[in-house]
Chains A and B, each alone.
Chain A
């Protein structure tokens, strides 16, 4: 067992509940212990930093203090938007003058020795990938997936230091280990429209529709993502795209943890897969259920 301080973020307690369920289930199998921060608060993504940067830093800083209180040095975040805010603040803490201001808003010392990691990075560590490869009992044979990284997992590269911002490969490699077929498509790092889904729904629908259309044109059965915001725009709003005449999509959108769970032989309900608004169970019925030959 390896233990990590764990910040789920608000989405995983709500709209991204299947991400939470599948994260917990998969980490249990892989021997990853997640110690949830005690009484964590919202990190403010994606509003606080744009209304008042000190507010954005202050909200993250309280969580960094809680993370330090676990005694662990690695903080793992499944939500890409939260991850981006945490990285931004830890990056800012590297400047002593800014750090002093962050401590002013946080009301005390803010730990600077924590490693902030996206969940995806943790699961693809070499030793764990070997373990994973050996643990796959239901390879995702015949499932064609379009790996979707979105914006904030890799950008801005100076802050995230994670994968290639223009042509990232981490999800691609993970999907191949699970036995899925990875399609080449142009949408890997394109934007889904983020919170414009609420404020300018038309634009978010246009951008998300474009992504779904690209994935379909590439022959994908499904899109796989690491971000609850992207998942929400792509999975939840396909009905609105249909009714508004943008396109008649029927594309399952998975969190990478859900597909890991399926390949590890976990039940679909345990992973939260029936909770999607766009049917995500049907594409998996075509994946052979028997153990690998």
Chain B
């Protein structure tokens, strides 16, 4: 956790512009009551609370939010948005921040999380459905946690909970096309946020 938030506005606001547009949330509605932080199930494990992440964004310091571990530990449990008196949808803000971070290839403070998302979605892109054995195998290989969850493999297999052979749906080409179009839409939104920032300077 940083000792203090820098009070000089960060040079670049493109990430914040993207987050506000993508999440549809007005970050300045937050008056820092702290209800989100109080109810966050990850409070014990995180560096920055949701309240601190939104504060960093209010102060124009997207890097502080983007470099936090809390951003990647958030699983979207929706407790914060349920309780927020200003009805700020923080999970959407977190999603938008993660979209920006991954699209821009930023280093994640919890590198396992983006690895998991990429591996999981790759199986969906190729097969049209999740493929658990492939997800765990791919995740363990790329993350270096080679034996992660290995103790569960056999007991789950003998109970018919794991299918060793991947199966694909007939419409997987349609699914792959959705991936392609979604990627193009995201890329154009990231570019638009950068352009808006450039024009504002």
Contacts and interface: CB of A to CB of B under 8 A. Distances in A.
Interface of A: 10, 13-17, 39-42, 44, 46-55, 58-59, 61-62, 101, 104-107, 151-152, 155-157, 165-166, 189-191, 193-201, 203, 206-207, 236-237, 239-240, 275, 277
Q: Is the interface of B mostly helix, strand, loop or mixed?
A: helix
B121 A41 contact: no
B81 A191 contact: no
A200 B148 contact: no
B182 A55 contact: yes
Given A15-B161, A51-B98, A275-B161, A191 B182 contact: no
A68 B99 CA distance: 30
Interface string B151-194: 11001100111110000011110110111011101100000000
B42 interface: yes
B102 A47 contact: no
Contact of B182 (A16, A54, A165, A166): A54
Contact of A59 (B78, B116, B178): B178
A107 B148 contact: no
Contacts of A200: 45, 73, 110, 112-113
B174 A203 contact: no
- Select the residue from A17, A155, A240 with max chain B CB neighbours within 10 A: A155
Contacts of A62: 171, 174-175, 178
B73 A236 contact: no
A107 B178 contact: yes
A59 B175 contact: yes
Interface stretch (B2-10, B47-55, B57-65, B122-130): B122-130
Contacts of B82: 155-157, 165-166
B58 to A, nearest CB: 22
B66 interface: no
B75 A105 contact: no
A106 B22 CA distance: 18
Contacts, number: 176
Given A156-B78, A193-B75, A44 B124 contact: yes
Given A53-B22, A200-B73, A41 B95 contact: no
Given A50-B99, A62-B171, A277-B155, A156 B160 contact: no
Contact of B148 (A49, A198, A207): A198
A140 B77 CA distance: 31
B198 interface: no
6 contacts: A41-B129, A41-B171, A44-B124, A48-B121, A51-B98, A196-B73
A58 B182 CA distance: 7
A50 B117 CA distance: 8
Contact of A198 (B110, B116, B172): B116
Contact of B77 (A104, A191, A237): A191
B169 A199 contact: no
Contact of B124 (A59, A157, A198, A236): A59
Nearest to A196: B75
Given A52-B99, A107-B181, A203 B129 contact: no
Contact of B185 (A101, A152, A157): A101
B130 A42 contact: yes
Q: What 5 A-B pairs come out closest when comparing CB atoms?
A: A155-B78, A55-B182, A199-B112, A58-B178, A10-B130
Nearest to A52: B186
B41 interface: yes
A232 to B, nearest CB: 9
A275 B98 CA distance: 37
Contact of A54 (B120, B129, B186): B186
B79 interface: yes
A15 B121 contact: no
A189 to B, nearest CB: 8
Contacts of B174: 41, 62, 107
Interface in B85-101: 89, 91, 94-96, 98-99
Contacts of B185: 52, 54, 101, 104-105
The listed residue with most A CB atoms (<10 A of its CB), out of B44, B75, B162, is B75
Contacts of B36: none
Contacts of B79: 151, 155, 189, 191
Contacts of A197: 149
A58 B181 contact: yes
